[in-house]
Structure 1
Amino acid sequence: MALGMAAAGLASKAFGLNQPAPQINGESEKLLVKNPELPQPATFDRLPLSWYKATVKRLKERVGEKGVKAIVLQNPWNIIYFTGLFHSSTERPFYAVFPVDEDALYWYHPGLDRDLVTTWWSTENEYYFDFFHAEGGHPEQGKVATGKTVDLFVWLLEGLKKRGFADKVIGIDTELPPSKLQKAKNTLPQARFEDISDICLKMRMVKTPEEIALTQRAMNYFSRIHAFARDYILAKGTDATDFEVGEAAREYGTNLIMQDIKRDGRPHTAVGIAVNVSCRTGVATAYPHPNQFFHKKIERGDALQVSGVVRIGGYGGELYRYYQIAPWDAHREKLWEVVTECVHIQERESKAGRTCAEVAAKIHQYQVKMGVAKYIYHRPAHGEGMEGHQAPWLALGDPAVLEEGMMFSVEPGLYDPEKGFGYNPSDNLLVTKKKGLLMSLVPYTKEWMFLKL
């Protein structure tokens, strides 16, 4: 779909009835990079159930080496990753249980999610009414009771006992605190609990071809959203606020993506979708994590950032671009150039076999060499996953070795609060044998980011 007519329609909503919509000409999309090295984007909207079952099989093989006979998942990201059940995480305990020697999935969950659970992958399920759960209290079954509060961890343990795991090794994706270990000892004195959180995390850190393809699809959409945002800024100029730019881009991106998503309004379709786009201009760019609301008119001379996260089926990543609105001086141009070169250093150095610390050091060494040390505020990048920030960390203190299939943000930003500006990029970088692949199509050029309004 061409940007022109669709974008103009969306833009008119953002301006209200009394303001003319800017003419979005779609020229920015012509500048998007065509990189033949990038993976082919997925044609599916979410990973298929067969992928989750194959992934659980790999998990069983790995934990089986530790003698584990039952797997208990309670981390919501692990539950989504291994079962495919997208759900809301609150104070309500939610558990997925896999017997290692059976092809089964048992759920222990809050009652409000019973329809989600039973219409997805489920062998059997047990649920409590809500948190706090009163013993015997099930209003949905006509049983209204107050009284003893059920300990929902003990309730899970009793469920494991009923399923024959009272004297087995049970793998759980967390390090149990002393209070829960004591409950486990009291309820299942012959069982042994093994922390398998590291195994789960390492599997999530290295993406499969299907995950990579879905990520590429999300990044392709996100690149077009950035093209729209750039056109919007050029069209509306100093009449626009940063808030307006972000909202218009978010609406455009949502419609762009959702027109392609197969859905019927019921659960398990259109899952894991996020279109979070924001814009900040002027002094707000001078702080890595500013705490002020962004609602400022764009002015000539501003640094401006368009940023956010887009995901489809849980997969995608960050994509930020760091603009400079004319006029600019040599100081700003130098910091922008150092940031941009650091992006390419991360791209070149992020090959399998390097350590996170080695790549981080290369970037920081260049920053120091260029005399911009005082403007450094943070590590160059973090690992990228469904939850956003994910291990490993591109930091001086992380000895983790990069592996093919890992993904990272790209954030060698520099900030000058005294002068009231900063530049922080981001992208989704895929580690390969030879280098890191920047998965977006948005250029890192002055043509793209140095704008005259």
Structure 2
Amino acid sequence: MRGLLPSLSPLFSRSFYHISIRKITILSMEEPIYIFDSRIIQELYWNHLAKKSKKEVEMILSRRNFLTGFGLGLTGLHFGPKKGALSFGLSEKKSETLLIKDPDHPEPAPVGYDRLPLTWYKQTVERLKNKAAEQGVDCIVIGDSWNMTYFTGNFMTKTERPCWCVFPVKEDAIFWYSPGLDNELVKSWWSTGMEYYYDFPHARGGYPDQGKVVKGNTVNLFEWLLEGLKKRGFAEKTIGFDSEFTPSQMKTFTKVLPRARVIDISPICIRMRMVKTPEEIALIQRAMDYFSQIHAFGRDYILQRGTDATDYEIKHACEEYGTNLILQDIKRDGRPHNAVGIRVSIGCRTGRGTAYAHPNQFHHNRVKKGDSLQISGVVTIGGYGGECYRYYQIAPWDAHREKVWEVVTESVRIQERESKAGVKCCDVAYKVHEYQVKQGKDIQKLLYQRVGHGQGMEGHQPPYIALGDQTVLEEGMTFSVEPGLFDPENGFGYNPSDCLLVTKKKGVLMSSVPYSKEWMFLKL
């Protein structure tokens, strides 16, 4: 490779010879591509480009839409505009002009407000204490990882290692019982006191970090927690746990704290998480605004790469673009507690893979004319955001596909209109399914799933837009929008999604990506 670089000096500046190299294969091309990472230079058809003139090389690069950089841009080479690092080699970016900003969208959180502040979490815990106190609870124990993140704001990686935080109802305090590998995260965020075990499984007295190497005598960590509560004076109090006990846990609780009373406060916790505050909604809207731009990029990418692209390629290009787009706005210094709860998880499947509601196959298929194609995923900032899927049809299409697409799209509109505060979840689902069934047996047999699920930081959360859920919608609830139809017999399917915010008048779709044929019926 070193011998090759000087021969390309008319095209590539000497200042980039130090750049690292990785090799990939683009299926549409006969030969490998070398990507020079600074992150990026690209050299296509490396074994014969060196023999061509600068003009000929530029024509080839332009023809392949790589002039500003396939995937990551060539701004480091002074090719293209300054913001080319986000262009991913797209010669045209038309889709962003088609995005529709709904006047009912909430105000998004501003750049710099990348997560909820500690004051929000402390206020939320006070609300939890007030609700728990109504049931006579003296002490709250949080063990569920999603509840822990929601109430403390400490984004900790949940594994098999047990972790608990404890809130005395009548004290301004938080006590942690956690694994040693999280000590720095606990001490540097919000902590009144901390007890830790070295790691799971924990040997009694074994703390290598303190010079104590002990083996065997495995500690029951739930019992260890209860002993800690006893030392803090809760041996005869009412303790609220955020999960229902298993029989073995109940046995241990009775042994260690025979005079204490236990209450399951998980219904309080999930109810609070279901109804979002204005601060949470603002972060969701900001994430959905980014997601709309990612979808615009994905649509442009499909139009320009066409049948040269695979769904796998589209997925990764969208993820890379979205990550760069979001992280350029996120304040971070490498320390814990900033740049948290950020997720850019994009999916793409084309052709027969779209025909299944929950496919289990790996998606690495070339885009073909006549395919249905889905771009999907979840984007979050500070733990808040949601889903946004769009269901494309590549020309040509027939009347059956057009009808299925139209039924799906009208079902989205029905869910949007019916999702207002005071309505039951099952009533919204009934209206959608009633409409779908009335479209004929050819549509009925394509029904596989409920209409939607509640959206939270864990993804799926109660309640559900389903025939069996009688929960009453409240302002501030957020839902997915998935009245999809799937046709395995004909090898296609259309599944939408969005983040729908419940308001007094209707549901508000928080993305700006159109539900229109102009957006989703594509000719390559």
Q: Write the mapping of 1:432-451 to structure 2, written as runs, cut at 5 A.
A: 432-451=503-522
Separation of aligned partners in 1, 2:252 and 2:212: 28
| Change beyond 3 A, Cα 1:160–1:24 | farther
Residue 421 (structure 2) aligns with: 352
* CA deviations over 1:362-408 (Å, ceiling 9, x no partner): 00000000111100000010000000000001100000000000000
Is the aligned partner of 1:40 residue 2:107?
yes
Alignment of 1:425-436 (within 5 A): 425-436=496-507
Offset at residue 157 of structure 1 (A)? 0.3
Q: Could you tell me how far apart the structure 1 residues matched to 2:455 and 2:69 are?
A: 34
**1:385 aligned partner:** 456
Counterpart position of 1:27: 94
Q: What is the Cα deviation at residue 35 of structure 1? A: 1.2
Q: Distance in 1 between matches of 2:157 and 2:90?
A: 40
Q: Distance in 1 between matches of 2:249 and 2:149?
A: 24
1:6 Cα deviation after fit: 12
CA distance in 2, matches of 1:246, 1:69: 49
Deviation at 1:289, TM superposition (A): 0.8
Shift of 1:249: 0.5
Q: After TM superposition, what 4+ stretches of structure 1 lie above 4 angstroms from structure 2?
A: 5-8
Q: Does 1:153 align with 2:222?
A: yes
How far residue 22 of structure 1 moved from its aligned partner, in angstroms, is: 5.0
State yes or no: 1:124 paired with 2:184.
Answer: no
CA contact (8 A) 1:71 1:98 kept: yes
Structure 2 residue matching 1:133: 3-state secondary structure: coil
**TM-score, length basis structure 1:** 0.96
Offset, 1:265 = 0.6
Paired AA for residue 57 in structure 1: E
> 2:365 aligned with 1:296, yes or no?
yes
Kept in 1: contact 2:69–2:89 (CA 8 A):
no
Partner of 2:389: 320
CA RMSD of aligned residues (A): 1.4
Gapped runs of 5+ residues in structure 2? 1-64, 75-87
TM-score of the aligned structures, taking structure 2 as reference length: 0.83
Q: Structure 2: which amino acid aligns with 1:42?
A: A
Q: Secondary structure at the match of 1:396?
A: coil
Please list, as runs of the form range in 1=range in 2, the aligned pairs for 1:397-436 lying within 5 A after superposition.
397-436=468-507
Deviation at 1:278, TM superposition (A): 1.5
Could you say what secondary structure the match of 2:71 adopts? Answer: helix
Within 5 A, what are the aligned runs for 1:9-408? 9=69, 11=71, 22-43=89-110, 44-371=113-440, 372-408=443-479
SS at match of 1:375: coil
Q: Aligned partners of 1:6 and 1:108: how far apart in 2?
A: 53
Shift of 1:24: 3.7
For residues 265 and 185 of structure 2, the distance between their equivalents in structure 1, rounded to whole angstroms, comes to 26
> % of aligned pairs identical?
66
**Cα offsets for 1:128-172 (capped at 9, x unmatched):** 000110000000110000121110000000000011100000000
Which string of whole-angstrom CA distances, capped at 9 and with x for unpartnered residues, describes residues 213-252 of structure 1? 0000000000000000000000000000010011000000
The code of the aligned residue for 2:152 comes to T
Deviation at residue 7 of structure 1 after TM alignment: 11
Alignment partners' CA distance in 2, 1:10 and 1:116: 38
Secondary structure, in 3 states, of the residue corresponding to 2:240?
Answer: strand
* C-alpha distance after superposition, 1:108-141 (max 9, x if no partner): 0000000000000000000000011000000011
Secondary structure of 2:364's counterpart equals: coil
Cα distance in 1 between the residues matched to 2:144 and 2:231: 23
The question of whether the paired residues in 1 share the 8 Å contact of 2:446 and 2:486 is answered with: yes
Report if the CA contact (8 A) 1:24-1:232 is conserved: no
Which residue identity lines up with residue 207 of structure 1 in the other structure?
K
Question: Which residue type is aligned with residue 123 of structure 2?
Answer: A
Compared CA separation, residues 118 and 360, structure 1 to 2 (3 A): same
Q: Which residue of 1 aligns with 2:36?
A: none
Following TM superposition, by how much is the alpha carbon of 1:9 offset from its aligned partner in structure 2, in angstroms?
3.6
| Contact 1:7-1:228 within 8 A present in 2 as well | no
Alignment length (residue pairs): 443
Letter aligned with residue 363 of structure 1 = V
What are the superposed Cα offsets for residues 20-76 of structure 1, whole Å, 9 maximum, x if unpaired? x75341110000002111000002100000000000000000000011000000000
Equivalent residue of 2:177, what SS? strand
Which is higher, the Rg of structure 1 or of structure 2?
2
Structure 1 unaligned spans of 5+: 15-20
Partners in 2 of 1:191 and 1:28 — Cα distance?
Answer: 61
Partner secondary structure for residue 128 of structure 2: helix
Describe the shift of the 1:296–1:103 C-alpha distance in structure 2 as closer, same or farther (beyond 3 A): same
Bigger relative contact order, structure 1 or 2, given CA contacts below 8 A and separation 6+?
A: 1
- Distance (whole Å) between structure 2 residues aligned to residue 38 and residue 12 of structure 1: 31
CA distance in 2 between counterparts of 1:440 and 1:374 reads 30
Moved more, 179-188 or 207-216: 179-188
Distance 1:8 1:420, change over 3 A: farther
Secondary structure class of the residue paired with 1:294? coil
Q: 1:242–1:297: 8 Å Cα contact kept in structure 2?
A: yes
- Is the CA contact 2:70–2:89 (under 8 Å) kept in the aligned structure 1? no
AA partner of residue 486 (structure 2): Y
Distance of 1:128 and 1:245 partners within structure 2: 45
